[in-house]
Amino acid sequence: MTDTPNIVPEHFRAIETDRLFPSERATHAPRILLLYGSLRERSFSRLMTEEAARVLAALGAETRTYNPSGMPLPDDTDASHPKVQELRDLVQWSEGMVWCSPERHGAMTGIMKAQIDWIPLSLGAVRPTQGKTLAVMQVCGGSQSFNAVNQLRVLGRWMRLLTIPNQSSTPKAFLEFDEDNRMKPSPFYDRMVDVMEELVKFTLLTRDTAPYLVDRYSERKETGEDLIKRVNQNAM
């Protein structure tokens, strides 16, 4: 028996700490995109994202919020649709995201899922979500649950987003907003602030090193083997 790892040396690299902790870091405001999952006139997921955007701005972030009204269902048209292009452009612009969905029938809404389904894992050589940060939140019509945020976490992992540990779930959301559609002071408001603060911190920590964080041995190996195959085929 041997203790030698079964790895391909030319694709295996030691951890480069100078790439994990670069001396020069970006100084621009973190760019955060917020998505919400309801089109109701008084949508509490939208009100929650608006409140979160205010907190993010106070923390020094630049925010944009996508309005899903008019967005077609996935596969009902092609990606050239203006609302789809708007969403994809915003995702590429962003360095982090907030996903906030109501819980409907024990799950995230179709509106929330449709937005995520329109975001591709890759656009040519660009991976618009990989290595970016994500915070997940949900609003509940009744008692507190975590079905929607749990599903959003699964999707965040699938989209290769760095989903932060903290999350927010607000029960009976209709009681948490005043007549001016502002969220009332409460432990649920405090939790939302905690989540936004953590999101900004994680974004600042990872945005400069995201390409290195998601640089994988298996993909380097696959790419190298594909290159060798192409060279050999061209030599025939």
Instruction: Map out the domains of the chain as residue ranges.
Output: 27-235
Q: Judge whether residue 18 has pLDDT over 80.
A: yes
Per-residue pLDDT at 106 exceeds 80: yes
Contact by Cβ (8 Å): 99, 129:
no
Region 143-158: mean pLDDT is 94
Provide the token pair at 36.
């919400």
| CB 185, CB 46: distance < 8 Å | no
At 166 the pLDDT is 96
Report the pLDDT averaged over residues 6-12: 85
- 76 in Cβ contact with 13 (< 8 Å): no
- Bridge partner residues of 33 (DSSP): 64, 97
* Per-residue confidence band for 85, with pLDDT thresholds at 50, 70 and 90: very high
Q: Which residue has the higher pLDDT, 129 or 122?
A: 129
In this predicted structure, the answer to whether residue 236 has a pLDDT above a threshold of 60 is no
Its sign, for the CA torsion 81, 98, 208, 163, is negative
What pLDDT sits at residue 93?
A: 96
Give, for 228, the enclosing helix (H) or strand (E).
helix 217-235
Distance between CA 22 and CA 187 in Å, rounded?
Answer: 37
Q: How many CB atoms lie within 10 A of CB 197?
A: 15
Domain 27-235 architecture: 3-Layer(aba) Sandwich (3.40)
Nearest of 86, 87, 91, 111 to residue 101 by alpha carbon: 111
Q: Can you tell me the mean pLDDT for 153-176?
A: 95
